[in-house]
Amino acid sequence: EKFVPDHVKEYSYHDGPLPIGEDQTISQPYIVAEMVEALELTKDDIVLEIGTGSGYEAAILSRIAKHVYTVERIPSLADKAKTILDELGYKNISIKVGDGTLGWPDGDKKFAGIIVSAGAPSIPDSYESQLEVGGYLVIPVGSRSLQNLYKVRKNKNGKLEKQSLGHVRFVPLLGKQAW
């Protein structure tokens, strides 16, 4: 309930998306769980989250992985998430405001997992280049109104192998390599 606005706190344990401001939503808890599980993370992994939102998913990821890098395009949401995560004592999360379609473009970071909380028309090239061999990308891909949730593994040859996890509806991924 710390991750949702006061006017929807009474629904914070409801299994559905909730508004968090700026025309954005916190994802349905079931979908968050399915996406996080699909990453197959370990305690030594470094993960990239696209779409920080309220910070809820980053908090969950930080309990599993060694470090979470998260990108949010809306400064006010990034600021709120940082405040909440700091208040709750999370130390292994780095938040950046920027174009999430570019991933984490600082340096040559490779991630064991990349999780995208917005629907894309296709998989941005930056995600493929920033995903380590053997790593997983979980991303909704399709139209602005309906997407297929994919679990994508980068095989030893550097090729992406996609597995559909079903249909979902996410806000659109906005940026240079998406809408």
Which residues belong to the active site?
Answer: 27
Q: What is the largest CA-CA distance in the chain?
A: 49
- In whole angstroms, give the CA distance from residue 1 to residue 12: 5
**132, 133, 138, 142: CA torsion to nearest 10:** 110
- Using CA atoms, how far apart are residues 101 and 81, in angstroms rounded to an integer? 20
DSSP three-state, residue 170: coil
- For β-strands 111-116 and 46-50, DSSP reports them as parallel
